[in-house]
Amino acid sequence: MAHSQTLNTGPWRFELKTTYGKIPFIIHFKKNKKGFVGSLQNGKETIKLNDITVDQNKISIPLQMYEMSLEMNLPNKGMMDGALVRHNKNPKVETPVIAVHGARERFPGKKNPPTIDLTGRWAVTLTDDQDKAESGILVFEQAGHTLHGSILTTTGDYRYIEGYVSGSEFEAASFDGVYNYLIKGNVNNGKLEASILSSYKTKIEGKKDQRAALPDAYKQTQVAAMNFKFPDLKGKMVSLRDEKFKNKPVIVQFFGSWCPNCIDEMNYLIPWYKENQKRGVEIIALAFERSLDQNEARRQLLKVQKKKALPYPLLIAGSTSQDKPADKIPGLKNFISFPTTVFLNRKHEVIKVHAGFTGPSTGEFYENWKTEFNQTVDELLK
């Protein structure tokens, strides 16, 4: 690996230069016998970065299992530049990135003493740049200047936010490769006003409300029956009529490897399945990929299957961005979100459909989802 020593180990502070905001994040690099590895700290989660390659011209840093990578030029005097590249588009989408070695703080600089307390739930309205509005919830934990939290909507959560409070203003960011954004706002007279800044701009307005709730996730999407036959990653056709699923409740997850909320749900389902399969319950993931073609979709899903040591079937239901769940599953109505989870009883009748997912960044919402999930499975097994 020529010139691999040119990537300095230790912390690097990156800035992703999007249309509306500069999104900061920190990666710590280490060197081992195989080369370089990295740790991306995204709020309360640590994302391991493997398969980093360094050659005479560039540094390539794959971002988890997504078809995304940081493609950086070699460092010069403790700095480097490059781009965040989205590979499943033709042409590829590139967003400029710069990085500085040795900087440990995501948001450096002096902070004023906080005059607001953001801790708790905020009932908000999110309005995008097309003036389309939706209800949401901000959940925050504030300790002095330090701020953590997430944003919840009917289609899922925005994952981990990390930032600071200064006076009556706050600033925070998320970067995991897909959910990459900056949020800037303030609170005056109890009213919160903020903007989510990325390649898009979304306005947020609302007030603190500990009873804030989202519409019932079980009343958003409907499906009359789950009749399907799709290939697994070896090309074998799989359906609910197979002996493996006979007289067993089945949980069907609409999944995409490009979808962080889907990965979060899968991270819960994998250990859950290993512990509960002996009770006589099965899981099937129906993947709808956003790859350029079916071969690329299969390669991407094989990567997921290997890295996650996936113990249940992962089927290729759709392989391009044109493939829609409603076109592949007869009777599926108002499909609004990946993931969507369908609960089938022993006769494979649809009992519940849960749209979206509130992941581990959402605290008590995630705990409530886990409780509901287990209660539903208990009912199916009776």
Please indicate whether the domains covering 4-101 and 120-208 agree at the CATH topology level. Answer: yes
pLDDT score for 304 = 97
pLDDT score for 4 = 42
CATH of 120-208, one of 2.40.128.120, 2.10.109.10, 3.40.50.1970, 3.40.1190.20: 2.40.128.120
pLDDT score for 247 = 98
Residue-range domain boundaries for the chain: 4-101, 120-208, 217-381
Cis status of the peptide bond prior to 231, with omega within 30 of 0: no
**CATH class of the domain whose range is 4-101:** mainly beta
- Residue 243 DSSP class: G
Indicate if the pLDDT at residue 2 is higher than 70.
no
**Residue 14 · residue 24 · CB < 8 Å:** yes
Provide the 3-class DSSP secondary structure of residue 308: helix
d(CA 205, CA 189): 13
Could you tell me how far CA 215 lies from the centroid of its own chain? 21
- Find the angle CA(360)-CA(61)-CA(102) to the nearest 5 degrees: 85
Mean pLDDT of the chain, nearest integer: 96
- CATH fold of 217-381 reads Glutaredoxin (3.40.30)
Indicate if the pLDDT at residue 5 is higher than 60.
no
What does the pLDDT look like over 240-285, one tens digit per residue? 999 999 999 999 999 999 999 999 999 999 999 999 999 999 999 9
pLDDT score for 3 = 42
pLDDT score for 143 = 98
pLDDT score for 6 = 78
Distances, alpha carbon 261 to alpha carbons 105, 117, 169, 366, in Å: 27, 28, 29, 12
Indicate if the pLDDT at residue 216 is higher than 60.
yes
pLDDT score for 241 = 98
* pTM for this model (two decimals): 0.95
148 burial level (CB within 10 Å; 0-12, 13-18, 19+): buried
Share of the chain above pLDDT 70, in %: 99
